[in-house]
Amino acid sequence: MGELAVIYEDEVLLACDKPAGVIVHADGTGAPTLTDAVAAHLAATGRAGVRPQAVQRLDRETTGLVIFSLDRATQPALDAQVAGHAMGKTYLAVVRGRFLGGERVIAAPIGRDRHDARRMRACRPGQGKPARTLVRPVAEEGGRTLLLVQLVTGRRHQIRVHLASLGFPLVGDELYGGARSAAGLLLHAWREGVDHPVTGERLRLETAWPTRLWPTCPPALLDR
């Protein structure tokens, strides 16, 4: 997967920018993982005994920010932030067409698709698990819209399912009806806030701008 793109690193935390096509955890196939790459980076910098543990995961084709715990003693504090939805991860997503109406709150429950084990689906109230997504269009060009997306909950395929349920599947997301894209799935975990488990300081982490999604950062996002 090439050189690990480290965004932040100290004794207890490491954040990196995951490329497309790489899984975070081992899946039994022997495919290289992001966890392997982090472990190799630690070994190369004199920390071979450290066992990195991803605090959250991203789908294979989703790119962007992944935080790893490097210390078992402080990992429960990170797990508690994940469980309490306190990390505030922000994604960038590209859909085909004009996403009108300004900021939206999508609050459709999500459950498994009975007809396709690979897929999840938006459900009626009372079915599935509660899911809530905040979406705001920030730029439009060439028949596509760039969206700023924040997860309030963290269900499997949540962004992909919620946007597809509105008739706006992600570009490159063929599983949910999106158009094929040479650049792959246009979904990127861009920013995340986390309370440092030792100092309590609020860290605001951000990857480099993902030019495969959108050529430049729109002015509307520069000061956010």
Q: Tokens in use for 75? A: 């990992």
Residue 203: beta bridge partners? 194
Name the H helices within the chain.
34-44, 75-83, 158-165
φ and ψ at 82, to 5 degrees?
Answer: -65, -50
Instruction: Output DSSP code: residue 99.
Output: -
**Distances in Å between the alpha carbon of 13 and those of 49, 62, 72, 135, 175?**
15, 21, 11, 29, 34
CB distance 52 to 25 below 8 Å: no
Query: How does 192-213 read in b/e, with b if 16+ C-beta sit within 10 Å?
Result: bebbebeeeeebebbbeebeeb
DSSP codes of every residue in 18-57:
EPTT-BSS--SS---BHHHHHHHHHHHTT-TT---EESS-
Catalytic residue ranges:
59
